[in-house]
Structure 1
Amino acid sequence: STITTSSTTSSSTSSSTTSSTSSSSTTSSTTSSSSTSSSTTSSTTTSTTSSTTTTSSTTTSSTSSSTTSFLDPCMSNGSRWNTTGITILSSPTVERFTGMFFDSQDTLYIADQTNNVVWKLLKNTATPNVVVGTLGSSGASATTLYYPQSVYVDSNKTLYVSDNYNHRIQKYINESTNGITMAGITNSSGATLNQLKLPRCLTFDSTDTYMYVADSGNHRIMCYPSNSTSGDNGTIVAGGKGSGIANTQLYTPWGIFYDETISEYMYITNSGAHTVMKWLPGASNGTVIAGVPGLNGSNATLLNSPRDIKLDAYLNIYVADYGNNRTQLFCRNNSNGITIAGYGAPGNASTTLGGPRGIAFDSSMNMYVSEFDAYRVQKFLTL
């Protein structure tokens, strides 16, 4: 397969330099389905363009924090995104990109389900590199993955991957390519507290102390200490009462966002029920905040198999609405969605989405969407 990448590097100078904190940028956390893996050889084609805008003599540079002021997009003067995307990773037939994650240096990590690897794309570069997994080869060893879904990098640069078909979570320390199973039992699916079944998205709390996993096949959210190892028991913190649409149940949970510094709730895409729920960790029931349980559709109040989910510092919610080929914004305490990327019809044009699976934001709040059915990752610039 061939991965074609392009990036647009933009530097700007302004009369004053501002640095945002968590109050003005989204917090990161970061999905997918199965397809047949095959052995492939990958080559990379790259192109880079850069532009510079000068407004005065004081230079603003971007590091791990945002250098632009992100205004609440749900306010009349708020920030929004260009609806025309820029393709930064693409392949015509093979790569099925799923979950994504930005670290504090704006390095982008992308799970590639079909090639059974995780790609790493440094800031202001156009060529990705494989960091874990064996390209084009599935397996259950320490160096292989089988349908990776989600990726997370903690403050110590330890990388975590939800290894879907191996029913485990892999941890990679000090840039090692040998994974350590920290949750689940390799190649053993089940519903006991020390097992996982088809895990999808994962995230951590703000201190990287506890990991939260969408245990999709068991219709529950599991929590593990960060020092857990294979076979250790996890704790059910949501669901676990079979699949269903009652407020005590989850139905194929997929995406999960949790950052207790901005909200005490976990936010979960309940893919099989076509809803988004918020849930206090350990509570017996949650609350539907978007979508209608058991009903899929394409109007502003409905979702169709939602996948990834993110929140910004204003508690606005962003959902990869997979079945509707769009990204939806739900303003705080509002169940009417606003389409901010795609428009329902699938496609590979720059204004369409093809099966969006993952959502991520860089430090400038540019939005990135991985498209499972269009074999690409698109970037939507903030306006």
Structure 2
Amino acid sequence: MTSTTSTTSTTSTTSTTKTTSTTSTTSTTSTTSTTKTTSTTSTTTTAYNSCKLFHANKAHCININLGQSLRWNQTGVTVAGTGTSGSGSAEFKDPAWVEIDANDTMYVADHHNYRVQKWVKGATNGVTVVDVSTTGDHPESITFDKNGYMYLTGHENQRVARYPPNSNVGTTVAGIAGSASSALNKLNNPLGLDVDDDLNLYIAERDNKRVMKWASNATAGTIVIGTSSTPKFYGLLLSLYSPDQAYVSSQDTDSVYLWKFGDSTPSVTLTQVNGTPTTLKNPRGMEYDTYGNLYVSDQENHRVVMYCVNSTIGKVVVEDLAAKDPMKPMDVAFDSNLNLYVLDGPGQQVVKYKRL
């Protein structure tokens, strides 16, 4: 998964695919295990390579130069999960993360089922591709490197494991299983992670309040973000435009930061939203679209927020205003057609919002 500075001073754009490669995001998962629909309202969507090229209205943004429009249906359809907790092939038990590869295959970290479920496009049930029920790992986040290897955080087992393509046998590549510590060869509650083209692994450790860089085959990491005043981090997404910075989300401060490695303070802080409420609340997973815009799962506000390239004011993309059990987005992804997928962890489902 690669990353971007999709809301700072940059107009360059790069495309991405969330899962085996992810720069901006193209995600997918075409699978329908239920047709529970989730209604949402208000939207505003996104950009070409700069917000300046777009004319925004209430529903979407239009590229003035190219006549392109990006907007999504405001009624979502469940494409994975049944909406109730379970361990069957069509069910989840507290899913935590979603990734979609270039083939529009979806991977879900099924946290309390101790597994990663693979949903091929058009499938009605998932297939277990990683089973960690015997290792003590609770799968939290997933990313893929350029060679198709899967990296999986087992945050309660204090490690990151790597799995070759089509293999259920993982190798610990960061941390020591079962041993939480601030030592450089150990981890403490690893959550978000990303990997660059040189196969360096970046890990957001919540309880050590730091981001660690682990070179390929290293036995210890180096701290690239983290001081005594650093907040606890959850999600992590490498910058698309610079090899030495990343976006990190913090539930403690209800903010997303663009942070240059080695700096004691962030370059950019994202909290503002052009919507109601006007700020983020418990932001978690993040992703890019193919134009370099940043999308944030705004969990406690029941919505997904987009930050256009060069903008620090977010726009609401999809929102669930249901009076009872509104969705709580924990992660987001895109397929190759820029359909938007929202992982609703407490709702035990992945919801698809079709691009219009």
TM-score (normalised: structure 2):
0.77
Cα drift, residue 382 of structure 1: 1.1
Query: 2:156, 2:71 → 1: CA distance?
Result: 37
Cα drift, residue 332 of structure 1: 2.6
- Please tell me whether the aligned partners of residues 256 and 269 of structure 1 are also in contact (alpha carbons under 8 angstroms): yes
Query: 1:280, 1:204 → 2: CA distance?
Result: 16
Q: Deviations over 1:57-102 (max 9, x none)?
A: xxxxxxxxxxxxx856952313121111110112312421111112
Identity, in percent, stands at 32
What one-letter code is carried by the residue in structure 1 that aligns with 2:332?
I
2:317 counterpart of 1:340? yes
2:155 counterpart of 1:164? yes
2:178 counterpart of 1:187? yes
Match of 1:97 in 2: 95
Query: 1:190, 1:346 → 2: CA distance?
Result: 42
Match of 2:254 in 1: 274
- Please tell me whether the aligned partners of residues 72 and 79 of structure 1 are also in contact (alpha carbons under 8 angstroms): no
Specify which structure has the bigger relative contact order, considering alpha-carbon pairs within 8 angstroms and separated by 6 or more residues: 2
Q: After TM superposition, list the pairs within 5 Å mapping 1:133-148 onto structure 2.
A: 133-134=131-132, 137=133, 139-140=134-135, 145-148=136-139
Question: SS state of the match for residue 341, structure 1?
Answer: strand
Cα drift, residue 190 of structure 1: 0.8
Query: 1:300, 1:372 → 2: CA distance?
Result: 21
- Please tell me whether the aligned partners of residues 32 and 80 of structure 2 are also in contact (alpha carbons under 8 angstroms): no
2:313 counterpart of 1:372? no
Query: 2:318, 2:50 → 1: CA distance?
Result: 14
Question: SS state of the match for residue 286, structure 1?
Answer: coil
Larger Rg: 1
Cα drift, residue 344 of structure 1: 5.3
TM-score (normalised: structure 1):
0.72
Structure 1 gap ranges (5+): 1-21, 31-43, 49-69
Query: 1:375, 1:46 → 2: CA distance?
Result: 12
- Please tell me whether the aligned partners of residues 200 and 215 of structure 1 are also in contact (alpha carbons under 8 angstroms): yes
Match of 1:116 in 2: 114
Question: SS state of the match for residue 252, structure 2?
Answer: helix
Question: SS state of the match for residue 319, structure 1?
Answer: strand
Query: 2:105, 2:198 → 1: CA distance?
Result: 18
Match of 1:55 in 2: none
- Please tell me whether the aligned partners of residues 257 and 311 of structure 1 are also in contact (alpha carbons under 8 angstroms): no
Question: SS state of the match for residue 323, structure 1?
Answer: helix
Question: SS state of the match for residue 207, structure 2?
Answer: helix
Q: Which moved more, 1:209-218 or 1:87-96?
A: 87-96
Seen in structure 2, the aligned counterparts of structure 1 residues 372 and 365 have a Cα distance that, compared at 3 Å, is: same
Q: Which of the numbers 279, 294, 319 marks the counterpart of 1:317? A: 294
Structure 2 gap ranges (5+): 1-11, 21-30, 36-46, 56-61, 63-68, 87-92
**Aligned alpha-carbon RMSD (Å):** 2.9
- Please tell me whether the aligned partners of residues 289 and 334 of structure 2 are also in contact (alpha carbons under 8 angstroms): no
- Please tell me whether the aligned partners of residues 29 and 257 of structure 1 are also in contact (alpha carbons under 8 angstroms): no
Q: Which moved more, 1:358-367 or 1:178-187?
A: 358-367
Match of 1:217 in 2: 207
Q: After TM superposition, list the pairs within 5 Å mapping 1:254-273 onto structure 2.
A: 254-261=234-241, 265-273=245-253
Q: Which of the numbers 191, 198, 202 marks the counterpart of 2:193? A: 202
